[in-house]
Structure 1
Amino acid sequence: MSALNIILLTGRQSEAPHDEGEYPHYLCEYNGKPLIHKLIDNCAVLQPRRMICTFSNHDIARLHLRNMVPQMHPSASVLPVHNITRGAACTALLASEEIDNDDELLILSVSDFLDIELQDVVRAFRESHEDAGVVIFNSLHPRYSFARLDSECRVIEAAEKNPISSNAIAGVYWFKSGSLFVSAAKEMIRKDARVNDNFYIAPALNELVLLQKRIGAYRIEPNQYRPLKTDSQLHAFEAGEMR
């Protein structure tokens, strides 16, 4: 079995830095732990080789994240994002030096909290001999990424912020190798497959479809998916209104 690397994406970098008294959403606390710490704990059961956490350079300096994050887990590290990127795919590609290899890759959004066991997800993809996989739930809201499935519940098309099906992607992407993701994302960018002027991860799956790769889908219930994108959702998280 290959080693596993994980990228935790903290979301699109803001054009305007946080005020000195404000903290980004990934530091919202739950049971005394920042969100990023809880997510790292959830990932630790996978025994990853690396957990690469992306943060703006401004936040790294202001919040001393280089001191904080490695104390959360020995494999956790900080990847600075020095400038505004053109979407999640571009941000993930900043880690190419560490992920463009045969190790498995798991990409997670810090703005999406799932009440599931990640080892069950990864095990399902491995046992089905998938080349890639996504976690899906039922929704038609255009804020999400979407996957169209065939009769065997494999992805045959993906779209960003366009409900081509009711299979919304829950911000979790697994790849049999990091190099598979890197090559697909680069090909997507070469084709200029932008959405709202940004490059997202979901459309990169279409490049794998063209290569006839097997892309699995792990379904969860809608109540197992907790978006953390609005103030009310973050307040509910801090109040302990989720597991």
Structure 2
Amino acid sequence: MSKINVLFLCIDDKKNDEEPSYFFNEIGDGIVLERVVETFNPIKSEANFRFVVSSFQEKKLIETIFPKDEVVQIAPKTKGSAVSALLGSATLKKDEELLIVSVNEILNIDIQKVVSNFRKLSSDSGVISFDSLSPKYSHILLKDSKKIQGFFQYKVVSELATAGLFYFRTVEDFIDSASSFLLKGTSLNGYFYVGTVINEYILQNKVVNRFHIERKSYIPLKSTLDFINTNVNRNEGL
């Protein structure tokens, strides 16, 4: 049976390499990375989990926490998540599905339902959306209230914000589209993001769909305040 690859991008642009990355921070009764991975455990039997890191110390630590999964070390300080994802997915089987996951957020969703929905719609790619007008999130613009017209990194063009989880029907299509996107040099302040690869799919007339979730199902961990609020909510029984 063909596997679905779950690529966890454990990349932190911290200035001090001696400090532990944010995804090792405690949250509730565990650490952030454990909570992120929990969402994907329901598809573990059909999945290949791969963690992408940029330091040897973090590679060894994640290997200790998840001894049965793959950990790939790439060069530090790449030019954005699209580059990190390309490096991390290069040796995956090209005809298998791919989920690319940011570890700076927690999704309380039924991942089996999400994947099944994208498959049912014969999606070449898919995004997770939720309602928000905050500029700290990326957004999508719809055409005729249905078809995704464009993905906008950290730009409010609608009330539909996006989570850092992206579905791709095949590893090969992602690599081809991401490579094409990089060659065009379309960056944001010199950085290339996984989300904006979606625009390359749209230009190629590929099928891009979205799965909408409730705002409360998305827990961002992008700042110290996010961590404080999340821990308070968990203590209240979130």
1:119-146 Cα offsets, whole Å, 9 max, x none, are 1111111111111100001222222222
Cα deviation for residue 92 of structure 1 reads: 0.6
Local SS of the residue matching 1:98: coil
Structure 1 range deviating more: 10-19 or 199-208:
10-19
Evaluate the alpha carbon distance shift between residue 134 and residue 116 of structure 1 in structure 2; reply closer, same or farther with a 3 A threshold.
same
Cα deviation for residue 88 of structure 1 reads: 0.6
Q: How do residues 87-106 of structure 1 correspond to structure 2 at under 5 angstroms?
A: 87-99=80-92, 101-106=94-99
Cα deviation for residue 93 of structure 1 reads: 0.8
CA contact (8 A) 2:12 2:21 kept: no
1:156-214 Cα offsets, whole Å, 9 max, x none, are 21111122222111111001111111111111100001012100011111111111111
Matched letter for residue 49 of structure 1: A
CA contact (8 A) 2:7 2:89 kept: no
Cα deviation for residue 98 of structure 1 reads: 2.9
CA contact (8 A) 2:4 2:47 kept: yes
Cα deviation for residue 18 of structure 1 reads: 3.4
User: TM-score, normalization: structure 1?
Assistant: 0.88
Residue in 1 that maps onto 2:39: 42
Any runs of at least 4 consecutive aligned residues in structure 1 with deviations exceeding 3 A, and if so which?
236-239
Output the aligned Cα RMSD: 2.1
Evaluate the alpha carbon distance shift between residue 99 and residue 156 of structure 1 in structure 2; reply closer, same or farther with a 3 A threshold.
farther
Correspondence for 1:174 among 167, 175, 179: 167
User: TM-score, normalization: structure 2?
Assistant: 0.89
Local SS of the residue matching 2:39: helix
Cα deviation for residue 42 of structure 1 reads: 1.9
Correspondence for 1:150 among 117, 128, 143: 143
Matched letter for residue 192 of structure 1: G
Matched letter for residue 111 of structure 1: N
Residue in 2 that maps onto 1:16: 16
Local SS of the residue matching 2:134: coil
Residue in 2 that maps onto 1:56: 54
Evaluate the alpha carbon distance shift between residue 185 and residue 108 of structure 1 in structure 2; reply closer, same or farther with a 3 A threshold.
same
Correspondence for 2:117 among 114, 121, 124: 124
Cα deviation for residue 89 of structure 1 reads: 0.5
Q: Which runs of 5+ in 1 are unaligned?
A: none
Correspondence for 2:132 among 105, 130, 139: 139
CA contact (8 A) 1:137 1:167 kept: yes
Residue in 1 that maps onto 2:7: 7
Residue in 2 that maps onto 1:233: 226
Aligned residue pair count: 235
Matched letter for residue 48 of structure 2: R
Matched letter for residue 141 of structure 2: R
Structure 1 range deviating more: 86-95 or 37-46:
37-46
Q: Equivalents in 2 of 1:202, 1:140: separation in Å?
A: 17
CA contact (8 A) 2:39 2:107 kept: no
Q: Equivalents in 1 of 2:50, 2:24: separation in Å?
A: 16
CA contact (8 A) 2:35 2:106 kept: no
Residue in 2 that maps onto 1:26: 23
Q: Equivalents in 2 of 1:32, 1:12: separation in Å?
A: 22
Q: Which runs of 5+ in 2 are unaligned?
A: none
Evaluate the alpha carbon distance shift between residue 2 and residue 212 of structure 1 in structure 2; reply closer, same or farther with a 3 A threshold.
farther
CA contact (8 A) 2:137 2:162 kept: yes
CA contact (8 A) 1:134 1:174 kept: yes
